[in-house]
Chains A and B, each alone.
Chain A
Amino acid sequence: MSGPRHVVGIDLGTTHTALAAAPVDDEAAAAAVERIAQLVTTTTVEERPLLPSCVYFAHETEAALAIPWDRTRRHAVGEYARSRGAEAPQRVVASAKSWLSHQGIDRRADLLPLGAPPDVEKISPVQATWHYLDHLAESWGTRHPGAPLAEQEIVITVPASFDAAARDLTVEAAYAAGLENTSLLEEPQAALYAWIATHGTDWRKHLSVGDVILVVDLGGGTTDFSAIAVREEDGSLELRRIAVGDHILLGGDNMDLALAHLVSRKLAAEGTELDRWQLTALTHGCRNAKEKLLAQPDLGSVPVVVPGRGSQLLDGARRSELTRAEVEAALIEGFFPRVAATARPGGRQRAALTQLGLPYAADAGITRHLAAFLTRQAAAAAELGAPAGTLLRPTHVLFNGGVTKAPAFRDRLLAILNDWLANDGAPPVKVLPGEDPDLAVARGAAYFALVRRGRGLRIRGGTARAYYVGIESPMPAVPGMETPVNALCVAAFGVEEGSPAEILPQELCAVVGESVRFRFFASSVRRADRAGTELERWGADELEELAPIEVTLPAEGRTDGDLVPVHLASSVTAIGTLLLEAVPLEPAKPDERWKVELGVRGDTEEV
């Protein structure tokens, strides 16, 4: 093996996966999107730029789901799996990525598809991710014989809001698929890399020191905000990711569903009840109607037709329509409400959009989530010398994700954002013209791999959060009161990949032969805490509790049940994951340290 021949960017999306590649030895080459071979029916294969992130498990009565590289396969990844989602939903895994970042479940447990019949061998969110990557590797193999994907240099993108455990699990899935030369990149950064790649050295004409770019990523299933600042470092421009938002399960699919429910209510008022199949057909129809109404401002309404299910197309066909007013009320007012910068997402009122298990956003108001992000991160640009305001003030906006293709949504979001900025005494934002928002992330990820090899500008980021271990403080228990917990910072905000490990001065106790759990927290706003800082109290929304971490100390000559004092050591690996280790004060063998498992099992919620 003579080193990788290609750099490959993989956008592992909630709803779709894309892959872009560039040869490493061609200075002039740009990253190109690679088409992915996939089953589209039981008997036909197509190469498409997007691979729906779905797996379908065939029933015993079905013929093998033959794919050119495996004629006996019993499962399918991609378009056919997606289409079966409407027909046999209990055999289809979808949205595995949302499960991968779900705090409340054991993410290595075999729980997908939810509610699968007994003959389906369930898989974990990690295995589902492995299936997608494995499929990419197989499809790649047909196009690049002699240069298997496992031998290439791979960058997989994750949401900036993915916590340390979700990043770990993504890498675990990549390793399981044989992709060992893998590193991670945050999606909003990848989108900005794609923009830089298109503009070459011209990007400096658009941006100058002190600018803050707000990346608004509105995908099929998730909404993600990041802020990236332009700084000067040693006399040259540098980009630094200064803030990331929360993981919000809200996206374009919610919009289509909202419209489908609207139309089905209208049909119900006329006495027509739709079954699940018809509701799916209606959702497709609503998506098309939405795209037309949003793209053509002079259209007043678009008919939506639910065809008859049987071979008699016209029998039982139901016709309704979506008007401009309805779409604007449901989507623009519903998802982009005109709110003040002080607005916050509403509480737990679960609408018809939710599905058992996944923690979908309770509030569909994307602008409320954005207001919360900008005000929470008001101080994020302080170190750049930006004047302090009541909110983080972006100077530029980069849109990414399929939802942002609609000018109506972009314009509305910009209008509201500019209102907030004007109220705060800041100038309006400029829009960085993006590329195809469905494919930019994969292309940007491949470009990042080239950048890392020394071609072009690198965005510096480091950890998007500071991480804390909960330590019970030595106080007598008071009945009816929870034992107070101190938060010990184990990894500071903004620690860069590959930095040397930091060993904390505090001693913790591990029990030999048992696994000991610690509560685990993260903060996306406490920038000043260093590893070793111990907090006795903190602001209500400063720290977010994550799934607990777990240390298991094998005996190595010690007696089971013994208490062993350990130090925690933290580092950020070169691939971009957080590594926590327990280092015994009295090692039983030289260089003894034990990996701390991040958020492997949540307080298992019934799913």
Chain B
Amino acid sequence: MLAAVTAPVPFSTRLWLAWVAYFRILFDGAFAARVLAAREGNLQPLQTPPPERPRTPAPTPLPEGPDPTAALVLLGLLQREGRLVDFLKQDITTFGDAEVGAAARVVHEGCRRALHGHIEMVPVRSEPEGEPVTLEAGFDPTSAKLTGAVGGSAPYRGVLRHRGWRAEQVSLPRPVGTGDATILAPAEVEL
């Protein structure tokens, strides 16, 4: 920026600039003040400086993510039982619905079995979806979420749109040995 200001300007540009500046100095008071300041060798930046930020304590780093091993074990399980990774990694745009549907059955069947075998899941709310429900004051905001015209105070009367899911019990396969958990599925070589 500074370099652009100090470099010599060619005559043709100077002629054009004088013409433009003449009218602007006449009609734009703020511009005239800055030109005056420049003429007195007292150049100010064009923009007003940003307001000073309120002082904050030293920034807290984001909490550590969970150990990825458990996620990899779960993904490996879903791939082994239900080919989930194969399904998600394949581009299915060119396949017909019948083909995608057939594959989805394999994935659904296997992943469902794997899920049932390892994670016991129950709905958060037992009422049927579409029924009116009331959330009393002090309800657990992580287990129920308000949507729509959110406001007012408890009790909150609304309609159950989604029952939610809660994992009651999780029993993942436990890693043993020195295996590499990042191998979700080994390559297969048939002899």
Q: Are A44 and B99 closer than 8 Å at their CB atoms?
A: no
- B185 cross-chain contacts in A, Cβ below 8 A: 311
- B177 cross-chain contacts in A, Cβ below 8 A: 42-43, 63-66, 71
Q: Are A312 and B73 closer than 8 Å at their CB atoms?
A: no
Interface 9-residue window, one of A185-193, A313-321, A518-526: A313-321
Q: Verify if B171 is at the interface (C-beta below 8 Å from A).
A: yes
What are the interface flags for B77-98 relative to A under an 8 Å C-beta threshold, 1 for contact and 0 otherwise? 0001001001101101001001
Q: Are B173 and A44 closer than 8 Å at their CB atoms?
A: yes
Q: Are B174 and A44 closer than 8 Å at their CB atoms?
A: yes
Cβ contact of B102, chosen from A64, A67, A305, cutoff 8 A: A305
- B178 cross-chain contacts in A, Cβ below 8 A: 63, 66
Closest to B180 in A: A43
Q: Are A319 and B173 closer than 8 Å at their CB atoms?
A: no
Number of A-B contacts (CB under 8 A): 79
A-facing residues in B62-116 (Cβ within 8 Å): 73, 76, 80, 83, 86-87, 89-90, 92, 95, 98-100, 102-103, 105-107, 109
- Bound together, the chains give a CA A303 to CA B76 distance in angstroms of 26
Q: Are A303 and B176 closer than 8 Å at their CB atoms?
A: no
- A303 cross-chain contacts in B, Cβ below 8 A: 102, 105
Cβ contact of A314, chosen from B76, B99, B179, cutoff 8 A: B99
Q: Verify if B181 is at the interface (C-beta below 8 Å from A).
A: yes
Q: Verify if A471 is at the interface (C-beta below 8 Å from B).
A: no
The count of residues in chain A whose C-beta lies closer than 8 Å to any C-beta of chain B is 28
What are the interface flags for A34-52 relative to B under an 8 Å C-beta threshold, 1 for contact and 0 otherwise? 0000011111111100000
Cβ contact of B176, chosen from A44, A285, A317, A319, cutoff 8 A: A44
Q: Are A307 and B83 closer than 8 Å at their CB atoms?
A: yes
Q: Are B173 and A305 closer than 8 Å at their CB atoms?
A: no
Q: Verify if B128 is at the interface (C-beta below 8 Å from A).
A: no
- A587 cross-chain contacts in B, Cβ below 8 A: none
Q: Are B83 and A44 closer than 8 Å at their CB atoms?
A: no
- Bound together, the chains give a CA A64 to CA B179 distance in angstroms of 10
- Bound together, the chains give a CA A312 to CA B89 distance in angstroms of 8
Q: Verify if A198 is at the interface (C-beta below 8 Å from B).
A: no
Q: Verify if B175 is at the interface (C-beta below 8 Å from A).
A: yes
B105, B173, B175, B177 — most chain A CB neighbours (10 Å): B177
Q: Verify if A288 is at the interface (C-beta below 8 Å from B).
A: yes
- Bound together, the chains give a CA A65 to CA B178 distance in angstroms of 10
Q: Are B102 and A43 closer than 8 Å at their CB atoms?
A: no
- Bound together, the chains give a CA A312 to CA B80 distance in angstroms of 14
- Bound together, the chains give a CA A41 to CA B181 distance in angstroms of 11
- Bound together, the chains give a CA A46 to CA B109 distance in angstroms of 21
Q: Are B92 and A314 closer than 8 Å at their CB atoms?
A: yes
- Bound together, the chains give a CA A47 to CA B169 distance in angstroms of 14
A-facing residues in B123-177 (Cβ within 8 Å): 171, 173-177
Q: Are A314 and B80 closer than 8 Å at their CB atoms?
A: no
- Bound together, the chains give a CA A280 to CA B109 distance in angstroms of 16
Q: Are A305 and B86 closer than 8 Å at their CB atoms?
A: no
**Closest CB-CB distance, B27 to chain A, in whole Å?**
70
- B100 cross-chain contacts in A, Cβ below 8 A: 314
Q: A43-B179, A43-B181, A63-B179 are in contact. Are A311 and B102 (CB under 8 A)?
A: no
Q: Verify if A68 is at the interface (C-beta below 8 Å from B).
A: yes
- A66 cross-chain contacts in B, Cβ below 8 A: 176-178
Cβ contact of B103, chosen from A43, A64, A87, A314, cutoff 8 A: A314
- B106 cross-chain contacts in A, Cβ below 8 A: 285, 305, 307, 313, 317
Interface magnitude class on chain B: 20 to 34
Cβ contact of A305, chosen from B92, B105, B174, B188, cutoff 8 A: B105
- Bound together, the chains give a CA A66 to CA B177 distance in angstroms of 5
Closest to A64 in B: B177
Q: Are A67 and B83 closer than 8 Å at their CB atoms?
A: no
- Bound together, the chains give a CA A41 to CA B92 distance in angstroms of 29
Q: Are A45 and B103 closer than 8 Å at their CB atoms?
A: no
- Bound together, the chains give a CA A65 to CA B176 distance in angstroms of 9
- B175 cross-chain contacts in A, Cβ below 8 A: 43-45
- A64 cross-chain contacts in B, Cβ below 8 A: 177
- A305 cross-chain contacts in B, Cβ below 8 A: 102-103, 105-106
Closest to A40 in B: B173
Closest to A281 in B: B106
What are the interface flags for A290-328 relative to B under an 8 Å C-beta threshold, 1 for contact and 0 otherwise? 000000000000010101000111100101000000000
**Closest CB-CB distance, B83 to chain A, in whole Å?**
5
- Bound together, the chains give a CA A235 to CA B178 distance in angstroms of 65
Closest to B89 in A: A311
- Bound together, the chains give a CA A319 to CA B105 distance in angstroms of 10
Cβ contact of A44, chosen from B73, B109, B180, B188, cutoff 8 A: B73
- A63 cross-chain contacts in B, Cβ below 8 A: 177-179
- Bound together, the chains give a CA A319 to CA B106 distance in angstroms of 10
- Bound together, the chains give a CA A64 to CA B177 distance in angstroms of 8
Cβ contact of A312, chosen from B86, B98, B107, cutoff 8 A: B86
- A319 cross-chain contacts in B, Cβ below 8 A: 98, 102
Q: A312-B86, A313-B87, A317-B99 are in contact. Are A45 and B174 (CB under 8 A)?
A: yes
Q: Are B95 and A45 closer than 8 Å at their CB atoms?
A: no
Closest to A302 in B: B105
- Bound together, the chains give a CA A303 to CA B176 distance in angstroms of 37
**Closest CB-CB distance, B191 to chain A, in whole Å?**
9
- Bound together, the chains give a CA A27 to CA B173 distance in angstroms of 35
Q: A305-B105, A312-B86, A314-B90 are in contact. Are A43 and B99 (CB under 8 A)?
A: no
**Closest CB-CB distance, A429 to chain B, in whole Å?**
35
Q: Are A313 and B83 closer than 8 Å at their CB atoms?
A: yes
- Bound together, the chains give a CA A68 to CA B181 distance in angstroms of 17
- Bound together, the chains give a CA A581 to CA B7 distance in angstroms of 118
Closest to B177 in A: A66
Q: Are A313 and B86 closer than 8 Å at their CB atoms?
A: yes
Cβ contact of A313, chosen from B90, B173, B176, B181, cutoff 8 A: B90
- B105 cross-chain contacts in A, Cβ below 8 A: 303, 305
**Closest CB-CB distance, B101 to chain A, in whole Å?**
8
Q: Are A46 and B171 closer than 8 Å at their CB atoms?
A: yes
What are the interface flags for A569-592 relative to B under an 8 Å C-beta threshold, 1 for contact and 0 otherwise? 000000000000000000000000
List 15 A-B pairs, Cβ < 8 Å: A42-B179, A43-B180, A43-B181, A44-B174, A46-B171, A47-B171, A87-B188, A288-B109, A303-B105, A305-B103, A311-B89, A313-B83, A313-B107, A314-B92, A314-B100
8 additional contacts (CB under 8 A) given A307-B83, A319-B98: A43-B180, A43-B181, A45-B173, A66-B176, A285-B109, A288-B109, A313-B86, A314-B90
